[in-house]
Each structure stands twice: as C-alpha cells, then as structure tokens.
Chain A
Amino acid sequence: MPTSTEVFADVAARFGDVDPHDLDAVRQWYETKMPTLPPEQIDEILDELLQKEGTGADSLPRCYPPSAPLPTLDEAPPAPLPLFFVAFLRNLLALLHKG
C-alpha cells in the first residue's frame, strides 16, 4: 500500500520545518534538501513514511508540473543486469549458506 501525500507533507514538516499545506514547498524539500541529509537520517525519514502507509489521505491539492517533453531513448538506457560472475558468486554463497 502506498503512503499518502498527507503523510509525506507531515514528515517534511517534522524533519524539514516546511509548511505541510504548501505542497510545492514539500516537493522542493524532498527534491533538494532531503537528499543532502546524512543517509541515517534519510533512512529514518523513509522508515517513518513506510510505518504510516495506509494512513492519512491524499487530500492535498493535486500538483502537476507544466507540460514536460516525452523522454528520449537516450534518457532511458536499459536497466543493467548483474555481471555474470556476481550472479554466479551470489548463488554459490547462497548454496553454501544453505548447506
């Protein structure tokens, strides 16, 4: 189940001192400020968002950026697969662990 926008806003208000009713400010905080925090604190924020999954409502105003261009193929390289030897080693370790 996803986490509601209201919960995202409340968490931004707690961790970033952002007005939870200003969705633009909330979005900007997640885009620009939150990634600059230490990983431990971002983990804490993520945990908080996950714990509150299914609570709150999507009652905040909808937020649509102005019309964006269709992505190009250059902006969408195929997702990488693990290297063969990494996949092999991973399975070998799993087998040994099982045994």
Chain B
Amino acid sequence: MDLRSWIGVQFVRRAPSKGGEEIELRVSRMTPSHVLWWQSHVQPIIDRDPNRVDEGWNWMLYAPFTLLVGSVLARRPVGYTVGIVVHDTGHFVPCALTLLLGRNPALDDYSRRSAISWYMTTAPEAALLDIKEYRLSEDRVPKLLGSIALDVAVTHSLNHWGRGRVGLHADLKGGDPLLHWYQRQGMAVLPEDRRLPPGPRRLVRPSDGRYCYFTVKQARVASHRLDYLR
C-alpha cells in the first residue's frame, strides 16, 4: 500500500539548477496574472522558434475554462503554474504552465478516471534570463522543468481520484523526439490498433500511436522519482 496516496501527495517544491544549487519552486493554481505575464513576456520568445511545439499558443484563450468555470464543468479543467519563489522581492516567476482536464476515461481502462494533459509548456531559458524585475543568473536556471510539469499532472491525478493516471497526445510536430521523451518519463504508448475510450474523438481522431498514458503503477514509479524535490 502506498501511504502517500492515503494522505495526499505534495507538489514539487525545489528544482536542481545548472550551478548545482537547488532553486525553490512553488506550484500554484493558475491565475489571470500568471497567464497575462506569460503571454506578454514568455510566449513572444517561444514564438521566435518555429520548431517548438508550443509556438503560437495563446493562453488567454485556454485559461478562461480553468480560471472562471472549471469546477462546475463535467471534465473538471484545472490549470497550474510552476514558478520560482523569490523571497527578497516577493516575486513569483512562472516557468511552466499546465492545463489539465481532471475527469476523463482512462486510456488503459475506460471504466476508470484519468487526468488528461491538454496544454503543457515550459519557459525557454532566454525568457527567464530577461526579466526586468528579477535578474536570474544563468547558473540558477531551474532544470527538469518538463518532468516537473508532467509530475504536476500526476500529482493532481493522485490527489483527485485518478490514482495517478494521466493521458496525453504527443503533438505530431514534436515527432519521434517528443514521443520518446514521454516514454523516458515512464509513459506507455497506446498502440495504433487500440481504440480510444467511447466518444466522438474515437471517430474524429482515432489512435495514431501517439497517445501516451501512465497506468497506476507507472504513475507511482514516476512520482517517486521526483520525491527528492517535494
């Protein structure tokens, strides 16, 4: 029995940095000020790189589902921001955003509940090094932000009836490197010939070998891997 799932699992609170020092992080529910800062400061830098999967994303469109109405909707959308805690100036520097749908049929067992990651992004280093209110030195840039953003989804699922189950679709634009990255995080890939859970998506966008998911067991392993940062 995993005691943590009985008492709730903490979100990650630290990240390693290039210089070896641990950086204090905080996982917060996404708010309008996070989204506004991201869209005005980080997204323009992301959009300079046409190879990024998140190029052209507009968080001002996505966020209203979670900020304003999430808890009353059937799919329970919820947004999280991972940010650097700066005690000296009292600032919170968003460095990863994730938007989840908390209540969906699991890809490995349609009768079970799973979280689905709809949007997930991390700030490029250039965006974190170019903030006028806060000078971050290069050796203090947090690492593992992608793994931490994915861990937020797993932790939400562990704490909200999903037992760690998370599903997502690896964007085609990310090609094999993105799919392999999710596999290295411990996710399984739904075979092309396996059907998606019942619903219109089964027809509109059938399994294409790029749907990834954590089973309960895989989620537990992935979650334990980051325990040293909680």
Give A contacts to B, CB under 8 Å: 1-5, 8, 23, 26-27, 30-31, 34-35, 39, 42-43, 46-47, 50-54, 58, 62-82, 84, 87-88, 90-91, 94
Task: Give the size range of B's interface with the partner.
Answer: 35 or more
Q: Write the nearest CB–CB distance from A80 to chain B, whole angstroms.
A: 8
B170 at the interface (CB under 8 A from A): yes
Additional 18 contacts, C-beta under 8 A, given A8-B58, A51-B204, A91-B5: A34-B64, A35-B64, A35-B69, A39-B69, A42-B65, A52-B204, A62-B43, A64-B39, A67-B41, A70-B92, A70-B93, A71-B37, A76-B28, A76-B83, A76-B92, A80-B29, A82-B8, A94-B163
Stretch touching chain A among B74-82, B142-150, B183-191, B219-227: B74-82
Q: Cβ of B134 and Cβ of A70 under 8 Å apart?
A: yes
Task: Find A79's partner among B40, B80, B85, B93 (CB 8 Å cutoff).
Answer: B80
B65 pairs with A70, CB closer than 8 A: no
Contacts of B205 on A, CB cut-off 8 Å? 51, 53-54
B172 and A87 contact, CB distance less than 8 A: no
Question: Nearest chain A CB to B85's CB is how many angstroms away?
Answer: 7
| B126 lies within 8 A of chain A by Cβ | no
- Interface-centre pick from A50, A51, A72 (highest chain B CB count, 10 A): A50
User: CA–CA, A87 to B58, complex, Å?
Assistant: 35
Within 8 Å by CB of B8, from A8, A42, A52, A81, lies A81
- Select which of B60, B160, B171, B204 is within 8 A of A27 by beta carbon: B60
Lowest 6 CB-CB distances: which A-B pairs, in order? A58-B56, A76-B28, A76-B92, A35-B68, A1-B169, A68-B36
Question: Is B27 close to A, CB under 8 A?
Answer: yes
CB neighbours of B77 from chain A (8 A):
46
Q: Are A70 and B200 within 8 A (Cβ)?
A: no
> For residue A31, which residues in chain B have a CB less than 8 angstroms away from its CB?
60, 64
11 A-B residue contacts at CB 8 Å?
A: A1-B168, A34-B64, A35-B68, A35-B69, A67-B41, A71-B31, A71-B34, A71-B93, A88-B7, A91-B6, A94-B163
- What is the bound-complex CA distance between A80 and B87, given in angstroms? 20
> Which of B6, B54, B55 makes the CB contact (< 8 A) with A87?
B6
Please provide the chain B residues from 146 to 169 with a CB less than 8 Å away from any CB of chain A in the complex.
Answer: 159-161, 163, 168-169
B94 within 8 A of A: yes
Assess whether B91 is interfacial by the CB under 8 Å rule: yes
- Does B90 sit within 8 A of A, measured CB to CB? yes
Known: A46-B65, A51-B201, A65-B40. A71 touches B75 (CB 8 A): no
B49 within 8 Å of A by Cβ?
no
Closest A residue, CB atoms, query B161: A90
Q: With A34-B64, A53-B205, A69-B37 in contact, do A88 and B93 touch (Cβ < 8 Å)? A: no
Looking at the assembled complex, report how far the CB atom of A66 sits from the nearest CB atom of chain B, in whole angstroms.
7
